[in-house]
Amino acid sequence: MMALNSSTCRWPIGDPGDAEFHFCGEKAEDGKPYCSAHASIAYVKVKPRTVAA
């Protein structure tokens, strides 16, 4: 956790209670806390709602 900074991916991996728990640590996308792979999961565009007639 000490190695995380604004340019590293902070996507949690595993259970926080487990000894193997860690954060991704890859290079984060500019202005985002996650790498491109994890940002694609975290930021999903909402589709416009349609009104049933």
The CA distance from 41 to 35, in Å, is 10
Counting the structural domains of the chain, the total is 1
CB 18 within 8 A of CB 37: no
Per-residue confidence at 53, pLDDT binned at 50, 70, 90? low
The structure's pTM equals: 0.75
Q: What's the confidence (pLDDT) of residue 40? A: 94
| Structure tokens given for 44 | 């999903």
Q: What's the confidence (pLDDT) of residue 13? A: 96
CA-closest candidate to residue 35, choices 4, 18, 1, 46: 4
Residues spanned by the domain of 45: 1-53
Q: Which residue has the tokens 């049933």?
A: 52
The whole-chain average pLDDT of the chain stands at 90
